[in-house]
Amino acid sequence: LDGKRVIGVDLGGTKILAGIVDGDGHVEHRREHATPVGSQDDLLAGLDQAVEELLDDRIAAIGFGLPSPIDQRTGRAQQAVNIPLDASIDFRTRMSERFELPVGIENDANSAAYAEFHFGAAREANTMVMLTLGTGCGGGAVIDGKLFRGWAEFGHMVIVYDGIPCQGTCTGRGHLEPYVTGVAAAKLAQDVFGPAVDAHRLVRLAGEGEPQAIEILDGIGRHLGAGIGSLVNIFNPDLVVIGGGFAAAGDFILDPAREVVAREGLAGAGDRVRIVRAELGTAAGLIGAALVAFDALT
């Protein structure tokens, strides 16, 4: 990529992470700002500022990872979660005109998947899917080396017919998300251990051998496995990467997930596919947004 540099911006509900990234995925000048959530104008002003303080003559493009399904044809965020950004503005054109540079936009979990594919846990893979387990459950996929630019909202696959309703703007029932996030884990833990217990504490308890904690994580892992099983039968990936804060539950959820995936996958794929934790941590979204910026150059 000829020594070119781009700016990657990962827009989250509480923080804007931005940095200058080179073609090898190295991040320089990483910065964090609180996300302005007062209005869409405030939010755009905050993003402008985050970009401007990194901008110089060597920057060839800008990429944004947004917490929303994206319509790539119109360049719009279709349903952002927790932040005042909606389809009323053509986000990509607005940013491209503002900075007179090529701009790429992607969903934040798609961006994270792309980063893990190039520089993280999936760098040896050809086809991979990723699930991020945090407050919500995001998804992304890379197919034969190319980022899947559809929605990939894997947290909103139905895995329990007529099951638990989603929260917020999603009206669905029995989606993967409310069964596998840190929020879901905290809820289950609080029923057993009292209101002060969160997902982090639940994982600690499991680590100490507490049987009910292990059982809760086992149930979460089995639901996760049902979702991964569906993805295996759709994408036949070499590798499934689990990221986000609740991935810290590690093998307490991944081992039961592996067991269910072995059962659900066609043609032995459930036994072949590897299920591993993400490697890039909180930088994945920023680096992935930068990769989307590089793609916008070609």
Nearest CA to 244 out of 157, 142, 139, 151 is that of 139
Work out whether 151 is an interface residue with a copy of itself (CB under 8 A).
yes
Task: Find the binder of a copy of itself among 160, 192, 248, 276 (CB under 8 A).
Answer: 160
> Shortest gap between Cβ of 176 and a copy of itself (angstroms)?
9
Interface characters, 58-97, with a copy of itself (x: CB under 8 A) = ----------xx-x-x----xx------------------
Name residues whose C-beta falls within 8 Å of residue 131's C-beta, 6 or more positions apart in sequence.
Answer: 109, 137, 138, 139, 154, 155, 180, 224, 227, 228, 240, 241, 242, 243, 244
> Shortest gap between Cβ of 135 and a copy of itself (angstroms)?
16
SS3 18: strand
Work out whether 233 is an interface residue with a copy of itself (CB under 8 A).
yes
Q: Using the minimum distance from each CB to a copy of itself, give the nearer residue, 159 or 206.
A: 159
Work out whether 152 is an interface residue with a copy of itself (CB under 8 A).
yes
> Shortest gap between Cβ of 269 and a copy of itself (angstroms)?
8
Q: How many residues does the chain have?
A: 298
Task: Find the binder of a copy of itself among 207, 266, 281, 297 (CB under 8 A).
Answer: 266
- Is residue 129 within 8 Å of residue 121, measured between CB atoms? no
> Shortest gap between Cβ of 4 and a copy of itself (angstroms)?
26
> Shortest gap between Cβ of 298 and a copy of itself (angstroms)?
17
Task: Find the binder of a copy of itself among 96, 111, 127, 181 (CB under 8 A).
Answer: 127
- Is residue 92 within 8 Å of residue 75, measured between CB atoms? yes
Instruction: Tell me, rounded to whole angstroms, the distance of Cα 178 from its chain centroid.
Output: 16
| Alpha carbon distance 258, 45 (integer Å) | 44
Q: Using the minimum distance from each CB to a copy of itself, give the nearer residue, 14 or 126.
A: 126
Interface characters, 168-207, with a copy of itself (x: CB under 8 A) = -xxxxxxx--------------------------------
DSSP character for 278?
Answer: -
Nearest CA to 205 out of 221, 216, 219, 191 is that of 216
| Alpha carbon distance 79, 86 (integer Å) | 6
Nearest CA to 231 out of 127, 129, 159 is that of 129
> Shortest gap between Cβ of 272 and a copy of itself (angstroms)?
11
DSSP character for 83?
Answer: S
- Is residue 11 within 8 Å of residue 298, measured between CB atoms? no
What are the distances in angstroms from CA 15 to CA 72, 108, 282, 286? 24, 13, 11, 12
> Shortest gap between Cβ of 266 and a copy of itself (angstroms)?
6
Task: Find the binder of a copy of itself among 264, 285, 288, 294 (CB under 8 A).
Answer: 264
Q: Using the minimum distance from each CB to a copy of itself, give the nearer residue, 33 or 156.
A: 156
Q: Using the minimum distance from each CB to a copy of itself, give the nearer residue, 119 or 154.
A: 154
Q: Using the minimum distance from each CB to a copy of itself, give the nearer residue, 34 or 73.
A: 73
Task: Find the binder of a copy of itself among 75, 227, 243, 256 (CB under 8 A).
Answer: 227
- Is residue 151 within 8 Å of residue 69, measured between CB atoms? yes
Residues of this chain that bind a copy of itself (CB under 8 A): 68-69, 71, 73, 78-79, 126-127, 139, 143, 150-154, 156-161, 163, 169-175, 223, 226-227, 229-230, 233-236, 263-269
